[in-house]
Each structure stands twice: as structure tokens, then as C-alpha cells.
A and B are shown apart, each in its own frame.
Chain A
Amino acid sequence: MSRFPLLRSLSSRRGPRGWRPWLWLVWPVAFSLGACSGLGAAQAQWSRAEAALRQADQPAVQADAPIELGLAREKLQRAHQALGVQDAAMAQRLAEQAELDAQVAEAHAQRVRLRREEKDARALTLSLQGAGRSAGDQP
């Protein structure tokens, strides 16, 4: 038997008149844990979004996808603010969107670059065709 009354009452299967004191401790602890895990998940998502934005934030992307990149930056900042006021759900949503926006910015810039290269390739084909003709025709 424990020498401490608090521990004794907590460890007893049933308190006076059926009152279970440990039940009153379980709920606050469970709520706190839930809130902490929500914020922790939002914080982890924010870190992922921040990494995605850092990867996307290159000069080529800044030049070819400024709007998409700006959107990702803004949402990441808002997610940070939401974390600051312990709004885990809002922070989670904004960070998820920011991560995807950063990926879209990167993909958009890559598409623009490849389209440009494709256009250059077509121009080079025409130029080489012209060069071949003029080299053969003009004495």
C-alpha cells in the first residue's frame, strides 16, 4: 500500500461512492496530447512546405513562375502566423497548400523552359535547313 494518499486514491480501482479520480485526469491529458500532436503535425507539414519552397525558389523559377512562387510564399507565411496563434488546423491546411503551390511553381517554370528549348530547337532546324540550302546553292 502506498504511503501517499494521492497515489493511493489514484491507484485504487474505485474511490468512494464509485468515483474514479484517474478518469478526471485522463481527459485533460488526452486533450493536451491531441492538441500537441495537431500542432506537431502542422509544424512538420510547415517544414515540408518550407523545404519545397526553398527548392523551388531559384532564379529560373522566379523569372518564369513569379505568381505561383509568390502564392506559395504568402501561404507559407500565413501558415507560420497560424502556428503562432496555435491554430493547428489552419496551419496544416495552409502549409499543405504552400507545399503544392511551390511544386506547381517549379513544374510551371520547367515547362516554360522546355517550351522555350523546343521553340529554339524548331528555329535551329529551320536555320540549318536554310544553311544547307544556301551552302549547296550559292557558289
Chain B
Amino acid sequence: MNTGSGSLSRVGRAGSSRLLAGAVLLGLAASLLSACAGPRQPGAAAQNPALLALNQRYALAEADLPATRLAPEAWARAQQARQRALDTADRVDAGRATPVELNHAAYLAAQTLTLAREAAASAQARAAIDAARPEHERLRKQAVQARSERLQAALASDPAHPNPGSNGPMDTPAQRDMRLATLQLQLHGMASQHTERGWMLELGEGWFAPGHSALSPEGQQELARIALVLNANPAERATIEGHTDSHGSHGSNQALALRRADAVRQGLVALGVAADRLGTRALGDSQPAASNDTAEGRRANRRVEIYLSPAGDVPGAP
């Protein structure tokens, strides 16, 4: 009779013999594999050129202490990447990774180190820029103060100008210098240029339709900005000169130019500029800014020019 304990012992014996056979097979396979790999020197992967170059770069980076301090997180990532590359080298030595994988790990580590160095250099530059800002402010204030003191001294020593607060007809060179600088700032962005007759502002390029004197919406917007400048500089007066293209007779162009100048004058008065500060002149088609042979040229010639000059200057004198 077959007992249960007998069958169990048979199964146990069969299992252990299978395990033994398996172990023998594994051992054989391992020795075959190692034989195929050939004689292996310990640490041979450490001679990988990419790893050698990487180690040199890390040695240099480690010597650069500010770099490691300025970008600590990037530096920590770089060290981790290097450790991964070294681990891969060990795995290559142990036959568990390929040289291709080692090259890849070394490349990643090198690029991570580059990132750390770039981050450190950026942090260094940013710190220098931040440090320069207050110095710039201080120097700017110093320069403005020195300039102001210089102007005050020039005004005080000028007997021809008893009242330095106004910029009227008796402008000294220093006052004029300051006034022009202020105007230049205020006129920034407008179609303006400094001429012998003072600052010239131009309302042109499509702000008047042919044969018409009404300002376009763009012209009205620009006029509002000019009114602001004039209101901020009560000592300036403006001479408004109307121009036309060459279409039509000389007489009709003169009349049209005057209507255009008047339209601008009325616009400025409506915007709060005192009427007695504004003069008008009609120049018709006598002073074209561009050729009247083309549509573009005629468009540029339909314009109004506003000359700003100190109140004492004779308005309208070209």
C-alpha cells in the first residue's frame, strides 16, 4: 500500500534533484558567459575616455568654489549625474552594462555639469547687475545735482537776467539749454525736429484731405498732445503755418492753407491754449516738403507746421 508519507518523500527528493540540476546549469552558463567576455581587468571602464574627460572637468569645477556656491542645486544635480556615470562604469566592469551606456551616462553628466557652470556664471552676472543698480541711481542723482548747481551758478552770475525763474525773451544760454532739454523730453515720440526757428512739430501725412481743412481723428489726437506741451510751457508761443499741395490755383491754395492753420489754432484754443500765444501763416504750395508729382508727395505736402519759440521772439518770422 502506498502511504502518503512515502509519496511526499519522493516528491521532495525529485524537487531537490531539480534544484541541484538548475544550479549546475546556471553555474555552467555563468562560466561560459565569462569565458566569452575574455579576461577582464578590474576597473577597466575607468579608462573610458569620456569618463576620464568627465573626471577632469569635475576636478576643475570643484576647484572653482564660487561656482559651486552660486548654483548649489545645479551643482548637486551635476554630482548626482557624475555618480550615475561612475556607477555605470562599475556596472560595465561587472559586465552588467555596455560601453555605449557608459558613454551616454558620461555625456549626460558632462552636460549636467555644463548646466551647473552656466547657472553659476549667470548668477554671478546677475549679482553684478543688481549691485550696479543702486550705484547708477547714486551717480545719476549726483550728475543731475552737479548740472543743476552749474546752471544755478551760471544764472546767478548773469547780470542780464534778473529773474531766472521765467524763460522769456532774455534767455541766457544756460536757461535755453535747460528749456530745450525739457521740451525735447516732452516732444519725445512726436513728429518733431529742432530747427533754427525752434522746435517744429508737423501735422501731416494724411491729416488733411485734399481741398479740406478739417483735421482727421489722428490729427486731433496729436493736437491734444501738442496742447499738453504748450500748456506745460506757458512761456512758449506757437506759430502755425498751413501748407497745401500744388493742386488748384495759387490763390485758392493760400486760402486753404490759412483755413488749415486756423483750424489747428482753433483746436488748440479749444484745448486750453491761450489764443494770444498762437499765430498763423498761410504758405500755400510755396514750400513743398515733397514732390507734387506723386500721390504720396502731395499727401505729405498737405500739412501744418507748428514752430515753438520763446514768447519774446517774433512769431511767424521764418
Contact = CB atoms under 8 A, between A and B. Distances in A.
Interface of A: 93, 96-97, 100-101, 103-104, 107-108, 110-111, 114-115, 117-118, 121-122, 124-125, 128-129, 131-132, 135-136, 138-139
Interface in B112-143: 112, 114-115, 118-119, 121-122, 125-126, 128-129, 132-133, 135-136, 139-140, 142-143
B104 A96 contact: yes
B17 to A, nearest CB: 15
Given A118-B129, A128-B136, A97 B121 contact: no
B121 to A, nearest CB: 5
Nearest to B149: A136
Q: 4 tightest CB-CB pairs across the interface, nearest first?
A: A128-B139, A114-B125, A107-B118, A136-B146
A100 B115 contact: yes
Contact of B107 (A97, A110, A129, A135): A97
B111 interface: yes
Contacts of B146: 132, 135-136
Nearest to B101: A93
Judged by DSSP, the binding face of A is helix
Contacts of A101: 111
B29 interface: no
Given A111-B121, A135-B150, A121 B115 contact: no
Nearest to B148: A135
B118 A104 contact: yes
Nearest to B126: A114
Contacts, number: 82
A122 B132 contact: yes
Contacts of B132: 118, 121-122, 124-125
A129 to B, nearest CB: 6
Contacts of A132: 139, 142-143, 146
A136 B108 contact: no
By size class, the interface of chain B is 20 to 34
Contacts of B121: 111, 114-115
A107 B128 contact: no
Judged by DSSP, the binding face of B is helix
Contacts of B133: 121
A97 to B, nearest CB: 6
A97 B133 CA distance: 38
A118 B122 CA distance: 10
B125 A118 contact: yes
B150 A111 contact: no
Given A100-B111, A138-B150, A129 B139 contact: yes
A104 B107 CA distance: 12
Nearest to A122: B132
Contacts of B181: none
Contact of A128 (B108, B143, B150): B143
23 contacts: A93-B100, A97-B107, A103-B115, A104-B111, A104-B114, A107-B122, A108-B114, A111-B121, A111-B125, A114-B121, A114-B122, A114-B129, A117-B125, A118-B128, A118-B129, A121-B128, A121-B129, A124-B132, A125-B139, A129-B139, A131-B143, A132-B142, A139-B150
B314 interface: no
A111 B128 contact: no
A129 B139 CA distance: 6
B153 interface: yes
Contacts of B101: 93
